[in-house]
Amino acid sequence: MDAVDVKFAPATGTDQEWNEAYGRLADYFRAYRLHNRLRRTELVLEALRRAAETHAKDPSKKPVFYALEHARAMQREWLNGIYSNLSMTEPQVEASGRLGFYLAGGPTRWPQHFMSTKECPPEMVEAMQLAIRTSGPRLQISKMTPRSMDLGLTHTVEDAVDRFGKQPWARYVILAVFVVAVVGYVYHLLR
Amino acid sequence: MIPPAKTTPSTNGFPPPRLASARRATFFVLVLLGTGLGTWLMSTFVAADGKWRWAEIGLLLTFVPLYYQLNCGFWTALIGVWLQNQAKSDPTDLWQTISHEPPDAPLTASTAIVIPVYNEDVTRVWEGLRVTYQSLVKTGQIQHFDFFVLSDSDDTNKWIEEETAWLELSRQLGAFGKIFYRKRRKPINRKSGNVSDFCRRWGKRYRYMIVFDADSLMSGSLMVAMTRIMENNPRVGILQTFPKQVASETLLGRLMQFAQSLYGPAFMAGLNYWQNGEANFWGHNAIIRLEPFINHCALPPLPKTVPFGGHILSHDFVEAALMRKAGYAVRLLNTNRGSYEEGPPSLIDTLKRDRRWCQGNMQHFWLLFAKGWHPMSRFNFGHGVLSYVSSPLWLLFLIFSTVLAKFPDLDRLSPAVNAGQLLLVLTGVLIFMPKTIILIDELFTGRLFKPMKLRFMTFIGSVMDTFIFTLMAPVMMWFHSKFVFKIVLGQGVKWVAQRRKLEGVDWREAILTFGEVTLLGLAWGAISWWVGSTFMLWMAPIVVSMVLAIPIAIWLGSGQSGLSWGLFLTPEELEPPSVLSDLQDNLAEVKGRLQMPPEIEKSYGLMQVCLDPYVNGLHVSLLRRRNVKDTREYLDEIAERLVKTGPQGMKPVEINAIMNDADTVTALHHRLWAAGEEELAPFWSLAIKQYNLAATHPFAHLLANKESVPQTM
């Protein structure tokens, strides 16, 4: 049996760190429900390759960080190509684009075109553009403000309570009168 | 050709004025006669010698409103039974106005179905929406209806679950553009504010709005019929259906739904008799004419300084009064099928709900004095207040009775004794006659059930429900009295999500809640014994109920609901309407689907939005972008803390702040995936490893898999 020729040989970082990066990328792409394992593997390897180059230049951060940064950059690049004719900001493209891919049935219909640098099939682009959703129909603003209401006696009570609140001793007087009245009445019954 | 719609003569939805006045006069004369007779007998009994002691005055003052309330219930039920047995249909019945219209005639108006939610069971809400939607599809009129789920949920997990459920249900039904989801960042003015917010944003697009509660269920045919009635009666502003309680599993829930099923229709008919065009709105399962609602029904705030003032909690009564003030009728629609809701499963949940309603109804006291109301609206407010104030009145009545029993009028003459005996008989008639007559009516007519065996079981059920409600009454009296006093003293209510399903009541919870009632019962029992053995016998039903409050609460909240013995059956249990049976099938399919470690399952929504690229994309897409320059540093700091400590180390308000900012949520998604193992909280390490194994589909775990449109996937 011939020896296996290992092509991925990063200049910096430990095996453990690159294994961690590999595992995380594999989980990340599985979260996209890409059941095409070949495509997932291609994407993992490409992100690792790019991460290895970056890590060699700046090893201050861990490979897992660079691997996921490159995966994100690859995705942005891909989505920008698909949504280039729509006036959307980059964050909108990133969020809605991912969702658009899912709703268009991308994970099962076009897995090989996920994050592809080549041109995607027009029906896929069309489906992804159509799939972007909003949560409500176009607004038709109305005014709904309470009409003024004469609350009658309630306003009088409000004023009284205001005045009452400024003299806390009055509450204690009322409470005391009430207690004395109750006690007095019970005494009257019992004597 | 469609014949012209038959509207109630010259009123466009209002009952004929003369008929309405005559009915109202008849009702209130009967009520006042009954109250007057009772008051006269009582005054003869307590002050036979013509001298009034303070306790006697107190007793009479508490007696009068209680007796008025008793009379209102009695005459409402009696008139209801009388109406139900009329050969000719009621001339004010709005169903007549569409009786000549073919059921499949196209509708001419658009209607929004709005479902305000607050931390509700997401599966129940969206499966309920599904069956309602499908029921409308069967009518062929779905194109005239749109659905809006209006969320004020502040539990992040619920929020994310609502979003994923919206997407999945819309996908399964092919209903994007028909079902909409909107989450408010700040739940200003709670449910009424939520609905008002809908009205401001989208109200102009629709002529009508059907308001649902989170547990509401309505059939498509009823909603189409309601829309037709509104179209044919342009002066009806609000049309309220009679939502029947369904799907209960506990003894209390089944008792409530049985009682509502048996006695409810007669009470509804009676209410309709005297309320006429000035009925009440109950907050849900009703259709509302949007233009006058937007123009006239915005809720005025009450002064904050008056006791229990501020934002109006029980908005429905006030909206009904405002609608009537604007010149539109508020009508009850006699509906036996098609409108459903669920009730609280246990006594504790019932009390929690009552605490909220109590404060809302108490607030209406201040509106009694406002100018411009229709007189009946004032009555409606007054009755609402009385429904809770009656409990402290009853409590005071019992206290005065105890005092007077200990210190009786020694020279009580025979007329007083006779009056007392007559009053006792009359009160017994007022309390038990309505139920008895309705039961006799059922035994003879079989309105609920045709087979004699079921009618017999209904009879047994009715006797038992009377016994159990009698046991509950003193406990409810004590708590309602406490609520009233607390509200008057300024202790407001918190807005909490309602528990709607059987989760059981544990003994600890029951002892903590009802222990005080047991102690009070023991104390009152001792006092009654001290007063005298005859009085103790009189007080025994109340004292025993109080002493046994804890086991009664446990029993009522248990699953021993009598179903296996065929007790408390309702027509909906024997022959569930399709919306209900479909809902129950779907809920059974979803039950127990998610199998994850408990700590992950508890924060499943949060985990999904942070880890799942699609759920994250959905959430960010639905957020409105806003300028957070001032809070950027704070958001970055708490997001980093969420990564390092997991959700357990965060306050809900912090998680909510993160979830409300699109940039932070997007960054958090990448931050978590790009973090080294040693940077992550154990929660996230476990979540990253488990997520792909557990969630084979990012959106489907909450809903049944009932695809109704061809899928691309």
What are the residue ranges of CATH 3.90.550.10 in chain B?
20-504+557-593
**What is the C-alpha to C-alpha distance for residues B347 and B549, in angstroms, rounded to an integer?**
10
Whether residue A182 sits in one domain with residue A111? no
Cβ atoms within 10 A of the Cβ of B437, count?
17
CATH number (3.90.180.10, 3.40.50.1820, 3.90.550.10, 3.20.20.70) of B20-504+557-593 reads: 3.90.550.10
A67 contact residues in B (CB cutoff 8 A): 674
Q: Please list the ranges in chain B whose pLDDT falls under 70.
A: 1-11, 306-307, 410-413, 492-505, 594, 708-713
Domain endpoint, select from A111, A130, A149: A130
Q: Give the chain B residue whose CA is nearest to the CA of A128.
A: B712
| Residues A109 and A52 placed together within one structural domain of the fold | yes
Mutation target vs A (from B146, B294, B373, B618; most A CBs, 10 A cutoff) = B618
Are B113 and B208 within 8 A, CB to CB? Answer: no
* Domain contains A43: yes
Does residue A67 form part of some domain?
A: yes
Q: Which pLDDT belongs to residue B51?
A: 79
State how beta strands B208-211 and B286-289 pair: antiparallel
How far apart CA B585 and CA B147 sit, in angstroms, is 22
Helix or strand (DSSP H, E) at B192: helix B190-202
Percent of chain A with pLDDT over 90: 46
- Cβ-nearest to B692 among A31, A107, A153: A31
Query: Which pLDDT value is given to residue A85?
Result: 83
pLDDT on residue B3: 44
Q: Residue A133 has what pLDDT?
A: 62
Note whether B305 contacts A: Cβ–Cβ < 8 A.
yes
Size of interface A-B (CB pairs under 8 A): 182
Confidence (pLDDT) at A153 = 75
Give the pLDDT band (50/70/90) at residue A164: low
Which residues, listed in sequence order, are joined to residue B329 by a DSSP beta bridge? B236
What does DSSP assign to residue B101? S
C-alpha B636: how far from its chain's center?
41
HEC secondary structure over chain A? CCCCCCCCCCCCCCHHHHHHHHHHHHHHHHCCCCCCHHHHHHHHHHHHHHHHHHHHHCCCCCHHHHHHHHHHHHHHHHHHHHCCCCCCCHHHHHHHHHHHHHHCCHHHHCHHHCCCCCCCCHHHHHHHHHCCCCCCCCCCCCCCCCCCCCCCHHHHHHHHHHHHHCCHHHHHHHHHHHHHHHHHHHHHHHC
Residue B696 burial (C-beta neighbours within 10 Å; 0-12, 13-18, 19+)? exposed
Give the CA-trace dihedral at B73, B79, B83, B85, to 10 degrees: 100
CA distance linking residue B99 with residue B161, whole number of Å? 43
Tell whether A4 is covered by a domain.
no
Residues A126 and A185 in one domain: no
Domain boundary among A87, A106, A130: A130
| A contact test, residue of B195, B614, B616 with most A CBs within 10 A | B614
Q: How far apart are CA B71 and CA B53, in angstroms?
A: 27
Q: Give the closest of A65, A135, A150 to B182, CB-based.
A: A135
B182 to A20: CB separation less than 8 angstroms, yes or no: no
- pLDDT band for position A36 (cuts 50, 70, 90): confident
> Same domain for A181 and A96?
no
Which residues in chain B are closer than 8 Å to A139, comparing Cβ atoms?
Answer: 201-202
Is residue A93 situated within a structural domain?
Answer: yes
- Which of B116, B319, B331 shows the shortest CA–CA distance to B238? B331
Q: Residue A185's domain spans which residues?
A: 162-190
d(CA A138, CA A78): 30
Pairing between β-strand B111-117 and β-strand B145-151 as defined by DSSP bridges: parallel
Reply yes or no on whether the pLDDT at A74 is more than 70. Answer: yes
CA B38 – CA B704 distance, rounded (Å):
58
- Here the tokens at position A102 are 């899912």
- Residue whose C-alpha is closest to residue B302's, from B381, B238, B380, B355: B381
Residues β-bridged to residue B341? B245
> Chain B partners of A103 at a C-beta cutoff of 8 Å?
167, 171
The answer to whether A135 faces chain B, any CB pair under 8 Å, is yes
Q: In this structure, is residue A70 part of a structural domain?
A: yes
Whole-number Å distance between alpha carbons of B249 and B558: 8
Total structural domains within chain A: 2
ipTM higher than the 0.85 cut: no
Decide if A157 is inside a domain.
no
From the list A135, A150, A189, which residue is nearest B370 (CB)? A150
Which two three-digit tokens encode residue B243? 């939502």
Subunit contact A135:B622, Cβ cutoff 8 A:
yes
| A180 belongs to a structural domain | yes
**For residues A39 and A111, is the Cβ–Cβ distance under 8 A?**
yes
Phi, psi values for residue B712, rounded to 5° = -85, -20
Residues A168 and A116 in one domain: no
Give pLDDT tens digits for B287-337: 999 999 999 999 988 887 766 778 888 899 999 999 999 999 999 999 989
Q: What's the confidence (pLDDT) of residue B48?
A: 74
Residue A2 pLDDT grade (very low, low, confident, very high; cuts 50, 70, 90)? low
